[in-house]
Structure 1
């Protein structure tokens, strides 16, 4: 067994569980909202669970490819976070834009220190990782524009996660390496790569990384993982859980490795437990993963599971 959780520098407390009738606020911290029908279906699912859903400021704003100006998106996020009547924050969609907000949202920003749930993935990795540096958890899980495409069990898993019920283990394909315990740190690989070495990067020692991506050619995945290796960013990581790498194909007619071959080549010699093919990421089932919860990764049996004390 690798990693002693008591020695991990990343310490995160999970927010209090939500319950029906709690108020949750919708924010758009990334790309402009385009998928309105899917967005409405996602809202309907949260409302059907008994939650009071409120639209945050500028939720449908547009500034180029962004959901409003940086100032608008920053204002909406901070207002929702500091609102004592808001128990959770739902991100409308991903795209691009959260890392722009991190330039001004730092330790001097007027953010309430109390934890509250924030739900999203993909570009929302920027917020999830920055909040982790403050000891605040979040959920790497379906956005409002993707929730309606999740199977029933995955939707239920999201609400189990946010309402404080135990989560079932996830099964993938083990690469070997034994078993490790560590704090779970999910991320989109591309977004996380551009956070390395910045104030928004949480400590990585002893964590179990959970990585996914979409639309990246194999050579770009190679370049990113090689950058992690060059920085020594994988040193001290307890294990790696790999989700879906969707539409990550080479140029037709050109010689290329597959994305899976690149992952094997760049990660397979790290000597840590690795599990591939787990059901999270883009364009398929996106099982909710809590940021900062103690997890166990079994690289031999191919299982990722949360640890409950």
Structure 2
């Protein structure tokens, strides 16, 4: 049976262009008709320097959306930077409606998804965001995300072994370790991807990530796509896969192969395992 959903979009990081929101809304109407209510919170279009409104505005919008019982899911508008700056105090204010929701996003939103997972709030997943409409062929990514949120369509979910899984941008993962956002990785596969990072930076991030005692409890690491890699000067003389294999081997973390995730239109959905109070 076809599902129904009420989804609210907020922007805990960077601002969403109103034109992108209009295109996503039109695409949603074409594909789902009356089965989907899609509401873009006005905060998505605020601007405060780098961010979609200041920290207080972004924190308030997220808290309002998460606690609104009229919605089934919170869909994050776009990445960039900013979701890790939300007010720590808001997480204690997330009530029953927030704990019943699905949360979807990726890239910088890994900070917020990780924190929600650690706090046991809702069902979190890595996956496409409204801003992906701006990529060539981005309509497919947007529809993939909406089919998951509306129908729990499994066709857009990243194929795997069936083990619990987390998926993160590698740079974001490296930066959230040791913060209140760090989830429990024990027994879960860890999927990583990145964009616009030189080989030496990828190497440095993996040095940090694989040194974590928490990460070393994971069931293994899988490598997503590392795209738009700037030239390394001097040449690093190792591929990304060789770098990942090296640090996995050094940390005795099983290397489990590739994963179908990345900063691109083919980015698949990775539901996180239940942790904390949601377990």
**TM-score for both structures, normalised by structure 1:** 0.76
For residue 49 of structure 2, the aligned residue among 49, 64, 71 is 64
For residue 145 of structure 1, the aligned residue among 122, 125, 131 is 131
Report what 2:148 is aligned to: 161
The structure with the greater share of residues assigned to helix is 2
**Cα gap change, 1:118 to 1:272, in 2 (>3 Å):** same
Equivalent pair of 2:13/2:108 in contact (CA under 8 Å): yes
* Corresponding position: 1:26 with 2:16: no
SS state at 2:113 partner? helix
Unaligned runs of 5+ in 2: 275-279
Equivalent pair of 1:215/1:246 in contact (CA under 8 Å): yes
Equivalent pair of 2:132/2:265 in contact (CA under 8 Å): no
CA–CA separation in structure 2 for the residues paired with 1:66 and 1:152: 25
Report what 1:275 is aligned to: 257
CA–CA separation in structure 1 for the residues paired with 2:12 and 2:2: 22
SS state at 1:182 partner? coil
* Corresponding position: 1:248 with 2:236: no
Q: CA RMSD in A?
A: 2.8
| 1:1-309 paired onto structure 2 within 5 Å | 19-20=3-4, 22-34=5-17, 36-48=18-30, 49-50=32-33, 51-101=36-86, 103-106=88-91, 108-112=92-96, 114-135=99-120, 136-147=122-133, 149=135, 157-162=144-149, 163-167=151-155, 170=158, 182-251=163-232, 253-256=233-236, 257-269=238-250, 270=252, 272-276=254-258, 278-292=259-273
Unaligned runs of 5+ in 1: 1-16, 173-179, 294-309
Equivalent pair of 1:31/1:95 in contact (CA under 8 Å): yes
**Cα gap change, 1:160 to 1:239, in 2 (>3 Å):** farther
CA–CA separation in structure 2 for the residues paired with 1:69 and 1:258: 39
Kindly state the Cα deviation for residue 209 of structure 1 after the two structures are TM-superposed. 0.9
* Higher RCO (Cα < 8 Å, 6 or more apart): 1
Equivalent pair of 2:9/2:74 in contact (CA under 8 Å): yes
**Cα gap change, 1:238 to 1:63, in 2 (>3 Å):** same
CA–CA separation in structure 1 for the residues paired with 2:239 and 2:22: 36
Equivalent pair of 1:42/1:148 in contact (CA under 8 Å): no
SS state at 1:127 partner? helix
**Cα gap change, 1:27 to 1:274, in 2 (>3 Å):** same
Q: Deviations over 1:233-291 (max 9, x none)?
A: 4322112222111112333x522233333222222453525122x32110341112212
SS state at 1:59 partner? helix
**TM-score for both structures, normalised by structure 2:** 0.83
Equivalent pair of 1:18/1:164 in contact (CA under 8 Å): no
User: How many corresponding residue pairs?
Assistant: 266
Kindly state the Cα deviation for residue 58 of structure 1 after the two structures are TM-superposed. 1.6
Kindly state the Cα deviation for residue 188 of structure 1 after the two structures are TM-superposed. 1.2
